[in-house]
Chains A and B, each alone.
Chain A
Amino acid sequence: MNDVTSTGQRTNNMGAPANTTRIEAEHRTPRDLAAAPREAIAWLLWRYARSITNGDLDGWLACFDSDARYKVITDDNVAIGGLVGLMDDRGPGLIDRVTVIRDYLNFVPQRYRHLLWTGPEEQVGDNEWRVDSHFVIFRTKDYGVTEFMASGEYNDRIRITPNDSQFTERTVIVDAGIVADWPYPL
């Protein structure tokens, strides 16, 4: 859903300028995802990053299975076996995250950009795959300076069906132990 600001500028759910149309035209959905798992995974990773960049929170939510788990945690917590993350959603909790970001959190317009390096996929079930990716995210706040925001690793479990690919689990391990105010999912 896009909104119009007091200055008449069209924005997306995150307050960033909408450029969905241009990017929609660029992506291609594989015709049979199950027959091409590598392509199905790449398509999901692209959809995920694109939805965050565009502030398309519904698109972000659609990347997850209805029972999925999404967790962002710093590497220092992982190292000590800590349970506490930065974001920790299960199933319906993902919907709440969208509701809270969209209707309740306070933040200036900002846009994230992801760079990804994806490793080889490993089949772990009939239609489930495991894949890890390294990421770097840049953030531009309020049309100002672009800054490095985070680096780390995605540990994903992905279910691939003929028509769709979705995360059943996405764990985002952030390298930095000291973080900042991040309103959106990483």
Chain B
Amino acid sequence: MVGGGLGFQKEGTCMPALLEDDKSPNKWSIEVSNISASLAMNRVPYPVYTDEKLFSREMATIFRSGWVNVGLSSELPTVESYRTTSMGSDQVIVSRHEDGVTVCRNVCSHKGAVVGREERGCARYLTCIYHQWKFRNSGELSAVPKVGSMPKNGFQKEGLGLEAAPRVAEHGGIIFASWNPDAPPIEQALAEAADELGEITQGEPHDLIGRQRYILNANWKIYLENAKDGYHAGLLHKLLPALGYYTDTRAIVLPNGHGMLRWPTSADLRTKSQSHGRGVSLQDYSVLETTREGWNRVLTIFPNTLVSHQADMILVRQIVPLAVNKTLIIQNGLVPSSSTLEFRERSARQMANYQGSSGWVGHDDIVAMNAQQVGMESYQGGETYVALGADTYCRDNSGESEALIRSFYDHWLRTMGE
């Protein structure tokens, strides 16, 4: 625990020491050790979102020491199917073969070109275009042109394969990988988040029904924070309280930096909006309604996974940091494999119109997060203030608490300090 642990200290001021970056005199860097004092005051210094050195350190620690989401099991439907993506700053190929799933570095061991140049495909072998070095999709070097002219001593195909991540696991339909051979088992890393994931998937196989990809001009943690922030939901997204949609929400702190927002599902939103809403009426409530009884959930899994189960849509988002202020969001839509075509189309429509980049909620999130990054980059000495609900902090908080953000940074700081 850092700075008072999950309880955080009450309001105060304590600006972290800023260090002038030797190479960029107009930029400021910040030592990780100085951030804890700010976090103890329920504040996060802006350089946490804007400093390139800190970003590099995140890529070298968080995205190499722990488990990272590299895609969905349903994205690799058959043996030999593969996709290319990133684990932090590392380009990787994720492929399915007879023995399971492999994640290996997408960098040719000859001269460093990416081997898999397409975003997805199906092939037993991948060949680097430059000098035609040929690799199995699981990473082993298979063939090299002019191999007879290679040194008789020293050239060994076994040592020239694509480096494979030592740990790969599929859980709840998500593929996780880690460069750390000593990473704990995935079930242990997910902890209670695994139970929540199980509640969402119900152990059923799921089909991928489509996806959205969009660029966020903001730091990757801003995206995670937004999904942990129940405070904004009824304020930025003005339509939701107007319809009485987002009510009785809880913010539940989970171990290891995970967290969840949860609120009851809405079966008859038309009636609910008349009794709890603000006089707003829609023509078509099917964008938000479900006959499913239970909970809507927004589950964030440290560091780069967001699983959203709202109405009839299950969205799994892979958060891919591209730069300190640029993040790729890959948003996949899933339905139980037993779903009818009508249900699939309804779910797809909800995903587009509600959660998508042009959706009634998704669009405003992007606009707000982009604005946040612009502001932070203009004021390197500033700090956020995320103290909402700090006096009543517990595991199960009011939805309008910033508890999940604070617990996220507790874990973030521990991981960064390792």
Contact = CB atoms under 8 A, between A and B. Distances in A.
A84 B213 contact: no
Q: Which 4 A-B pairs have the closest CB atoms?
A: A84-B210, A82-B210, A92-B283, A83-B348
B358 A87 contact: yes
A180 B353 contact: no
A165 interface: no
B215 A84 contact: no
Contacts of A83: 209-210, 333, 344-345, 348
Contact of B363 (A76, A91, A92, A181): A181
B209 A92 contact: no
Interface in B313-360: 328, 333, 344-345, 348-349, 351-353, 356-358, 360
Contacts of B239: 100, 104
Contacts of B130: none
Contacts, number: 114
A86 to B, nearest CB: 5
B276 interface: no
Given A84-B209, A89-B353, A178 B215 contact: yes
A92 B368 contact: no
A88 B347 CA distance: 11
B212 A183 contact: no
A8 interface: no
Contacts of A72: 352, 358
Interface of B: 119, 208-215, 236-239, 242, 282-284, 287, 328, 333, 344-345, 348-349, 351-353, 356-358, 360, 363-364, 366-368, 370
Nearest to B239: A104
B366 A181 contact: yes
Given A85-B352, A87-B356, 10 more contacts: A74-B213, A82-B348, A83-B348, A85-B348, A92-B284, A107-B363, A179-B358, A180-B214, A180-B366, A181-B358
Contact of B348 (A84, A100, A104): A84
A105 B287 contact: no
Contact of A104 (B351, B360, B370): B360
Contacts of B242: 104
A106 interface: yes
Contacts of A103: 238
Contacts of B208: 82
Contacts of A86: 212, 352, 356-358
Most buried by B among A83, A93, A100: A83
A99 to B, nearest CB: 7
Contacts of B210: 77, 80, 82-85
A91 B287 CA distance: 13
A87 B353 contact: yes
Contacts of A71: 352
Contact of B213 (A99, A106, A178): A178
Contacts of A122: none
Given A85-B352, A93-B284, A179 B236 contact: no
Contacts of A177: 119, 213
6 contacts: A76-B119, A82-B210, A85-B352, A85-B356, A93-B287, A182-B357
Given A96-B282, A104-B238, A181 B211 contact: no
A105 B361 CA distance: 8
Nearest to B335: A83
A180 B216 CA distance: 8
A166 to B, nearest CB: 18
A93 B283 contact: yes
B283 A107 contact: no
A95 interface: yes
B352 A84 contact: yes
Most buried by B among A72, A84, A103, A183: A84
A179 B370 contact: no
Contacts of B356: 84-87
Contacts of B287: 93, 96
Contacts of A179: 212-214, 357-358
Contacts of A84: 209-212, 333, 348, 351-352, 356
B243 to A, nearest CB: 10
A90 interface: yes
B45 to A, nearest CB: 27
Contact of B364 (A76, A91, A105, A182): A105
Contacts of A181: 214, 357-358, 363, 366-367, 370
Nearest to B351: A84
A105 B363 contact: yes
A90 B348 CA distance: 13
Nearest to A84: B210
